[in-house]
Structure formats: C-alpha cells, structure tokens
Chain A
C-alpha cells in the first residue's frame, strides 16, 4: 500500500494525526471515521467523534460490496445469510441515509437466480440502490442480464447523478480485460467521463464508485485499473474526490492530492492482504465465529460544516 502523506496533516484533527490513526487500525480493525476537509481526508478512531458527525450530517449514504450470492465454499456457505445480516446492519444504521451503492460482484456466477436472491435481500434496505458490475456479474453475454436488472438506464454500466449536492459517478472497469492486464475503463468510458465533468464546478464534492480499485493495490494480483490515471487526471481539478471500490474484500485506504481512495469489505468472504498468500482466493481458515468480524458495510456521511465526507466501516459482528 503506497501511502502518500501530507506533512501538514499531523497538526489537524485535535492532535490525532491520520498516520497515528492508520497505525491504530492495525489493532482496532473496523472503527475508523474518515473526514475530508478542504479536499484533504484524514481519519480517526470512532467514538465520541462519530456521534458529533452523525448529529451534524445533512446527507449520508451506505456502501455494500461483493455479496457473491452463489458462492458456497469455506469460509462461507451461506452468502445470502451474511448479505441479510449486512442489510440488517444497514437498516440499523441508515437513519436519514439518502441512498446505497453496491460496488459489484453482486453474484458469484452471473446467474439469474443469484441476481434475484441478491435483489430481494437488498430491497429489504428500502433504499434507492445504485449498482456497478463486478467481473463475476458479467461472465456471460457481455453482462446483459446484470445491466437489464441493476442498471437499466446504463446498458454499458457507467452513469452519473447528483444528490444532495454531491456528484456521483458510477464506472465499469470489469469488462474487456486484456491478457496479462488489470481492470480497464476503455476509451469510450473515458470520453464519456470527460464530457460528464466538463463545465462542472470544482467545488462540488465528487464520489466515484467502481468495482476494481482505481489505484494499484497489487499488480501481481490484478488489483488495479490500467487506465485509471486518465480518469484521475480528469478529476484532479476538483476539491473533494472520494473513490469507493470493492473487489479486494478488505479495507484499504490511500490519499493522493485531493483524492481519497477507499475499498470496502465484502459481505461474503475475506481475501488476503497482497503478498500474504499464494493467491488472492478466499481466506478459508477463518477461526470459527470470526467470519462476521471480517465482513461488513460502509457508511459515508456528508457533514454540513467544512467537513464534507466521512467514511465509517462497520463489521457484521459489530
């Protein structure tokens, strides 16, 4: 993980620097609150700070990811059950949340029944839910079944919308993979993105969501997007850009300029940290009773004050 630290961050956040907070994550696990002030995100352990942020919030939304309905192997032979637990957590935490995003791999094998099961469970959150595909959702027929059900107005999987002053951009980086390569946006999508951002005020907060990370977490495991640099160049002039991804089934964060990157946990199974296992396959030897502590949801809050975005991850075991 290539962290880019800004030396000026150390004086912010009541003396609790982002570097210290990230170090605390090693033992604290899920409880980290992200705030973005003037385009510079920093984090702190949740506690009293969370309550203060909640009460000031004008807008919040939730992220779930990698539900992999249809996966039926160790460590999780009940992926509908853990997705249901995630939605129960969403319902408990959503308060005034305006929407939910699902950052892909809704299904394990792109089967209609798997899409249907996921759809039924996710509707239980009673939130307007916006989807991007994962590579497991587009295994057949160019993903037509996924797009018809989950993004009917975006047949190629990319779209944007505005809500509560935030500009949301959904990107598809899971099709037309090249041999030996990573995730891929493609020229058509990049052209669309340039037009979408044209003339937009640089002070509007931007939230980009896509399945595969838009920063290179591990090239050896394909955990990155080959042409993400072109998309990030288009986003560079904006004061606050938050990029939310899934795919790697674990939380990773990075800051680069005004851009904060965050990957969410899966609701189905954890994957190993890069370089710690022979392959990126599911972690099978999860101690009994510990699985749900490795799965979870993400809540993103926009605060009325000068602190626009905060990201809070919660495990299913919380």
Chain B
C-alpha cells in the first residue's frame, strides 16, 4: 500500500506533539461552507490537516467512486488529517454539502 491513511480525528494538542513525525504539515480550514484554501499545492509526504470552524458538520471525502480519503463528520473544532505520499491531483468535497469542493495537488 503506497498511501498511508490517517483517519483519526486529532485534537490540536495531539497535532502539536505529533507534528515532528512528519516532513511537513499544511492546513485547510473549513469556514462559512468553504474549504480555504480551495486549492492546496504540497510536496509528497505532506500531512494535510483540515479543521472545521463552522457551526455545521462537514466532511472531507475524495471525489471518486471509491474514495481512499474519507473523514467522519467533523463537528465544530474537529480536525482530520491525511498524509499524501504520491504525486497527483486529489479532488475532494463535503459529502454533507456536496457543492463544497477542494483540491490538493501533490508534487
């Protein structure tokens, strides 16, 4: 398996203590029903952390027939992390509000 999945919801404290284990972190916030930044460009090996700052639950799900990136519902303040190990363009959406779209480009 070339892609390592981290499908746990991590608290900010856990993220801080664990961050040295990864080459780099990049962050996406979910605010006002939008992923920000909507397009993120990262190097392979980067861990991307999404944090929901909305009052509404959101998810991060890869926009493919069989998504390998799929978060549980994130309540206010919840985070979800995924390490991108392989170059490519990954489109994702919120499965609760499917018009919310985002892209991660891995170099």
**Taking beta carbons and an 8 Å cutoff, which residues of A are in contact with B?**
71, 73, 108-110, 135-136, 139-140, 177-182, 219-222, 278-282, 284
Say yes or no: A281 contacts B56, CB within 8 Å: yes
Q: Which residues of A contact B29 (CB under 8 A)?
A: none
Say yes or no: A179 contacts B73, CB within 8 Å: no
Q: Which residues of A contact B76 (CB under 8 A)?
A: 73
Q: Which residues of A contact B63 (CB under 8 A)?
A: 179-180
**Taking beta carbons and an 8 Å cutoff, which residues of B are in contact with A?**
32-34, 54-57, 59, 61, 63, 72-73, 75-76, 91-93, 95-99, 101
Q: Beyond A139-B73, A140-B73, A279-B33, is A220–B99 a contact (Cβ under 8 Å)?
A: yes
Cβ-closest chain B residue relative to A73:
B55
25 A-B pairs (CB sep. < 8 Å):
A73-B76, A108-B57, A110-B73, A135-B96, A136-B57, A139-B72, A139-B96, A140-B72, A140-B73, A177-B95, A177-B96, A177-B98, A180-B63, A180-B99, A180-B101, A181-B98, A182-B99, A221-B33, A222-B97, A222-B99, A278-B32, A279-B33, A279-B34, A281-B32, A281-B56
Say yes or no: B55 contacts A282, CB within 8 Å: yes
Would you call the interface of chain B mostly helix, strand, loop, or mixed?
loop
Q: Beyond A109-B75, A281-B56, is A181–B99 a contact (Cβ under 8 Å)?
A: yes
Q: Beyond A180-B101, A222-B98, is A109–B57 a contact (Cβ under 8 Å)?
A: yes
Cβ-closest chain A residue relative to B63:
A179
Q: Which residues of A contact B93 (CB under 8 A)?
A: 179-180
Cβ-closest chain A residue relative to B61:
A179
Q: Which residues of A contact B91 (CB under 8 A)?
A: 179
Q: How far is the CA of A281 from the CA of B93 in the complex (A)?
A: 17
Q: How far is the CA of A73 from the CA of B75 in the complex (A)?
A: 12
Cβ-closest chain B residue relative to A220:
B99
Q: Which residues of B contact A110 (CB under 8 A)?
A: 73
Say yes or no: B73 contacts A182, CB within 8 Å: no
* CB proximity of A73 to chain B, nearest CB, Å: 4
Q: Which residues of A contact B95 (CB under 8 A)?
A: 177
Q: How far is the CA of A282 from the CA of B56 in the complex (A)?
A: 8
Say yes or no: A179 contacts B34, CB within 8 Å: no
Say yes or no: A281 contacts B101, CB within 8 Å: no
Q: How far is the CA of A71 from the CA of B57 in the complex (A)?
A: 10
Q: How far is the CA of A26 from the CA of B91 in the complex (A)?
A: 42
Say yes or no: A179 contacts B32, CB within 8 Å: no
Say yes or no: B33 contacts A280, CB within 8 Å: yes
Q: Which residues of B contact A178 (CB under 8 A)?
A: 98
